[in-house]
Structures are given as structure tokens and as C-alpha cells.
Amino acid sequence: MMNVDLQQLIQTLTARARRDLERSAERCVLRGGGEVLVEDLLLTLLEHHDGLVARALADADIDAGELQATLQPKVKASASRNPVFAQALVQWLQQALMVAHLELRQTEVDHGALFLALLRHPLHHAGSAYQGLLNRLDAQRVRDFVLSQASQSNPGPMDESLLERFTHDMTRQAREGRIDPVLCRDAEIGQLIDILMRRRKNNPILVGEAGVGKTAVVEGLALRVASAQVPQALQDVRVLTLDMGLLQAGASIKGEFERRLKGVIDEVNASPRPVILFIDEAHTLVGAGAQAGASDA
């Protein structure tokens, strides 16, 4: 099981799912419990009569009211007004994050990811009164249902290009006049072009102290490409810069950061138009000096 900070985990929930988690804690306090249980959150999800969970149950001919009747937690009363999340609930949230990222290709955890994760990991409800009802659900059919509902409510994002999502087009910015002229860097820009024109060993690396103008050299290249002041072989290229912040955002689970980076590289290689990909602070990709568990390609 992956190790994700609880606060960070909660931030991956959609606004609606976060409100439901808060409502589950309130439900726990009202019943006098000391732990917010899986049952508390599932009951809260079922309160949305037109929500995805209720519709998935209806699709499987399961009465939501019958499921609700079996979900009343039986626990010892607690005087605490600040209940904690039960370990099983935290594990459910972690597994929902994995389902959202790796199976549903979503950046946030919504009701569909939560419900599908619950079905994928039946240990959360093993021996419970509602186990028999959930066992009647086909997880694969629910997954297809979740994906169909997502495509109807939010068409398009599933097919969004990773290059469009995680990079910025510097040549387009140059053509639109959004990059200032670069002065006193002609020699460095010329050297950059010379390396790019090689048949082999044509991946230049710009090194230097912070603030000396490494990014400015790349901006100068983009300006020259936009104004056709480069050799013929480079006149149709796109100079893209990888946004490391966007690439890392929401990639807290193991393998997600690497999947995104590989997807970007695959799209660069498959692009019908040549792409020069500029990676600022490239040393962070190999985890140089990073703590254990950090994003590392």
C-alpha cells in the first residue's frame, strides 16, 4: 500500500467528495462514534439520490434503500467531538486515488472512483451485513458505467493531449509577441542550433548558476524559429517547455509521475511536426538530492 499523507489525500478529492467526507464525520459525531467508518461515507454517498452511486445501483437492479438499511454502524459510543478516520476508510481513499489515476485516468477522486475502489477491494466490507448486496455488482460493468457517465458529463478531457496539458508552446508565444527580445546571447543560441543540427548527440544541456539566463537562450531559439532565422531543418519545429509543476501535481501515487513523463515523451516522438522539448531543472527528473518517495523518473 502506498504511503500518502492524509491531508494530501483529502486534497485529491473533488469538492463534492470532500464535502461528503466532512458530512461523514458529522454523521459519526451524531451517532456518538469515535471513528469515521467506511459505512459513514457510503451512507453519505447514497444520500445523493441522483448521484452516480445511486444510478449505478439502479443499473444493477439494487434498491439503494435496501443497501442503506444494512449500513448502520454498530460501534461503542464515544464522548469525543473530534473523531478520527478509521484505517479501513483511509485505505479506501488511497485505493480510490489509485483507481482514479491509473484506471479512470482522472486527476481527482470523485464518487465513481470511490465506489469502484470499494468494489475492487471487498475486504473493506468482508463479513458485513451489506456484503451480499455489493457482491451482486459486477466491478467491470460499474467501471464501464462510471466511464460512460464521465464522458457524458465532461466529454473530451480523457483524450486531452499530454503535450497540451503539461507543456507550453514557446514558438507560439514568440509569434504572438509574448516573449521579449533576447540580447547578448547570440553565441549561445548559435551553439545551441549547431548541436541541434547534428545527426547524433544532438541533445544540448544548458548548465550554469541560477539567473544567468539559461531559459533566455531557449527563448532566443524560439524567437529565431518564429522568425525563420534558423536552418531549413529547424524552421518547422515547435519549441515546447515542460511544466514540472503541472507534471507533478496530483502525481502522488507510485508510477503516476513516470506514466505522465513517458506519455509526454511518446507524444513528442509521435508528433507529425518536429518537437524540441525544453526541460527546465532537468536534474529533478532523476531525483538528485531528493528525499525518499519523491517524484523520480
Homologous superfamily of the 162-286 domain (CATH): P-loop containing nucleotide triphosphate hydrolases (3.40.50.300)
Residue 23, Cα to own-chain centre: how many angstroms?
A: 25
Express each pLDDT in 248-261 by its tens digit: 765 655 566 787 88
pLDDT at position 67 is 86
Residue 163 near residue 240 (C-beta atoms within 8 A)? yes
The Cα 220–Cα 185 span in angstroms is 8
282, pLDDT greater than 90: no
State the pLDDT confidence band at 280, using cuts at 50, 70 and 90.
Answer: confident
Asked if domains 6-157 and 162-286 share a fold, the reply is no
Helix (H) or strand (E) holding 220: helix 214-226
- The three-state secondary structure class of 245 is helix
The Cα 121–Cα 99 span in angstroms is 11
The Cα 36–Cα 217 span in angstroms is 54
Return the top range by mean pLDDT from 154-158, 212-216, 220-224: 220-224
Task: Give me the mean pLDDT over the 177-185 stretch.
Answer: 93
Q: Can you give the pTM of this predicted structure?
A: 0.54
pLDDT at position 247 is 80
11, pLDDT greater than 70: yes
The Cα 72–Cα 197 span in angstroms is 69
Q: At what angle do helices 186-196 and 214-226 cross, to 10 degrees?
A: 70
What's the maximum distance between 2 C-alpha atoms anywhere in the chain? Answer: 77
Residue 284 near residue 244 (C-beta atoms within 8 A)? yes
Is pLDDT larger for residue 10 or for residue 296?
10
148, pLDDT greater than 80: no
Q: Which of 117-121, 127-131, 266-270, 291-295 has the lowest mean pLDDT?
A: 291-295
pLDDT at position 267 is 93
Q: Is 272 exposed, middle or buried (0-12, 13-18, 19+ CB in 10 A)?
A: exposed
Helix (H) or strand (E) holding 229: none
CA dihedral 62, 65, 69, 72 (to 10 degrees): 100
Q: Which CATH class is domain 6-157?
A: mainly alpha
Helix (H) or strand (E) holding 94: helix 87-98
Decide the pairing of beta strands 167-169 and 238-242.
antiparallel
Grid coordinates 509521435 are at which residue? 270
Ranges of each domain in the chain:
6-157, 162-286
CA dihedral 91, 93, 94, 95 (to 10 degrees): 90
Residue 146 near residue 116 (C-beta atoms within 8 A)? yes
295 phi, psi to nearest 5 deg: -60, 130
Instruction: Report residue 125 as a C-alpha cell.
Output: 466490507
| C-alpha angle 249-251-253 in degrees, rounded to nearest 5 | 150
The Cα 169–Cα 151 span in angstroms is 28
Q: Which of 36-50, 87-101, 123-137, 164-178 has the lowest mean pLDDT?
A: 123-137
The Cα 63–Cα 140 span in angstroms is 20
Grid coordinates 475492487 are at which residue? 120
